[in-house]
Every structure is written in structure tokens, then in C-alpha cells.
Amino acid sequence: MAPEESEQPAPTRRARWALGIRMVVSAVLLAVLVTKVDFDSALPKHRHLSTLAFFAAAVLLATIGIVLSAWRWQRVLLAFGAVVPLRALTGHYFAGQFVGNVLPSTIGGDVLRISRSAKNIGSSETAFAAVALERLSGFLALPVLCFFGFMVDPSLLESNTAWVAILVSGIALAALAAILLLAAHPRMAGRFEHHENWMRFIGATHVGVAQLRREPRAALAVLGTAMIYQVSVVLTVGFVILTIGAPVPVGAVIAFVPVVAMAQVIPISLSGLGVREGMFVLLLHPLGIPNGQAIGIGLLWYLTMLLVSFLGAPAFAVGNRHQTAMGAGSKT
């Protein structure tokens, strides 16, 4: 029996260059933002027990959010007919967070999740398609939350940069519609369903979209869990804002946090550093929030996710040891 393929292939020169460029972009963006900070306004004026309590609540909610993400992933896998225990998927998700946020790796956390879940379901194609569709579900939930925030506080539309939030949400919805249209069309993604090369992964995504179209309940379950997860993200950042002590209106939290969440996944920086903080400055400064506090919200959100990602270290290590043992046992 041949050894299992490694879930962490050696990074190519192009991948190493891409990682280096993203690190430089983050450093430059943060350096530019720091020059605009009034450090006296960046920290809470009155530090007491509630500050620590708010930060602890943010970390707790972010941890719960990982479990909710795994639940959303499980709903997508069920659409493919794959039944995987939530505990296993939660471990994979935590391990992916550890790789994506803690390790300076060219291999993303989603790649690890695909590799490990493929062993659970016996299909790398289905594993790829499930992770792709799980991610895409967020790009419906996030714009919906953004528009809901404007409904909660219509005065936000008077902000000079409100159009940025609307534009980002509109682009996300348009991109999602285009991707789903291509994935669902039998002459587009569907024609790759029976291919043997890497294009079979596109075909597997077509199968998943077709299945969700045939089973509206499954689709609603995916969208429902996606919405619940994204609400947990907004609440997490809400507690981060309370920790900083920034007077951000509730409607602005609901409307702008999803926009920042969408912007920070653009792969031009390291873990969204610089992009996330810049978006908070852009969106919150017209509301009278000092740049220092806006940047602080972004950095503290990142720190929250970094702390939660460390919880994935055991899952990452155990998975690696398991894989190494399988590889050693297969040698003859």
C-alpha cells in the first residue's frame, strides 16, 4: 500500500514569493495607518473589570463561532450525502485556523480542511466542493447583514463612505451569483463532472450546487447556519468594540463588520492585516470614531482570532501524528 499523500506539500517558489509579498503589503499598510493614529484615543479611558470581561466574551464567542462554522460545513457535506460527526469537523476547522492564522505557511487552512475531511468521506473532490460551497454561503449572509444594518440605522446612509459598504456588498452578491450560475450550468462546470484531471473538482462543485437546487431544505439549512455563524462574528466584533470603548452605533456594527469581513479575505495581505484596519478607518472615521480606535478594533479582532486559533494546535498536531503513523504503517 502506497503512503498517504502529505497534506502539507513543499511550497513552490511562486508560493513563497506570494507569501513574502503579502507580508510586505501588510507591513506597509499598517505603517501608513500608524502615522494617522492618535495614541491617546486608541485605548479605553477607564480600564476596569468590564474591559477584561468584554474581551473574554469576544474570545468565547469567536470560539463558539468555529463550532458554528463546522456546523455549517456539516450541512453542506450532508447535501453531498456525506455524514461526518460535528466533533471531527470542529477539530479539522480548529486545525485549519491554526495553520491559516498562526503558522506563516503558504498552505492555507482550507487546504488542510479539504485534505483531512477527504479521509473522512473518501473523496477529495467532494471535500473540495464542500469547503468551496461552505465559504461561498458566507457571501450571501454577509451582504444581507450589511443591508439589515442600514435598515436598523438609516442615518448611516448619510456617511461619506456608506457607498463603499454598499458597493462591496453588491460586488459580493454579483460575484456569488456569477459563480453559482457557472457552477450550476451543465455546459459550464457540469461538463467537468467526469473528468479525471484537476478539473474534476469543478465538476464536483457542480454536483453539490445541483443537489442543493433539488433539495431546498438542504439549501435553507446551509444558508441558515451561515447566517447564524456570521451573526456570531458581528457579535464578536461588537464585544471587541466594547473592549476598546469606541462609541460605534449598533447599526454601524451590523452594517460595517460584514463589509470588513468580506474585504479582509482578499488575498493581498497576511491574514487581512492592514486591509481590515484600513477598512475600519474608512468606514468609522466619518462617524466620529478616532483612527486609533478604528485601527485598534481591527487589531484586537485579529488578536481574538489568533488566540482562538491557538486552540487548534492540538488538533493539528494529532492529525499530523495520525497521518505519519498511517504512512509508516503502509511501508513494506
* CA–CA dist 110, 96 (Å, integer): 6
Q: What is the pLDDT of residues 190-226, one digit of tens each?
A: 555 544 444 545 655 666 677 777 778 888 988 999 9
DSSP state of 195: -
Task: Indicate if the alpha-carbon torsion angle 311, 138, 222, 130 is positive or negative.
Answer: negative
Q: Which residue has the higher pLDDT, 25 or 304?
A: 304
How many beta carbons lie within 10 A of that of residue 195, not counting itself? Answer: 13
C-alpha cell at 173: 452578491
Q: Which amino acid is at 221?
A: A
* CA–CA dist 107, 110 (Å, integer): 8
Q: Is 117 helix (H, G, I), strand (E, B) or coil?
A: helix
What pLDDT is stored for residue 72 in this prediction?
94
C-alpha cell at 202: 469543478
Where does the pLDDT of residue 1 fall: very low under 50, low under 70, confident under 90, or very high at 90 and above? Answer: very low
293: enclosing H helix or E strand: helix 291-310
Q: What is the pLDDT of residues 218-268, one digit of tens each?
A: 889 889 999 999 999 999 999 999 999 899 999 999 999 999 999 988 877
* CA–CA dist 309, 111 (Å, integer): 16
**Overall pTM > 0.85:** no
* CA–CA dist 111, 7 (Å, integer): 8
Q: Residues with Cβ < 8 Å from 81, sequence gap 6 or more? A: none
Q: What is the pLDDT of residues 288-318, one digit of tens each?
A: 999 889 988 998 999 999 899 999 888 888 7
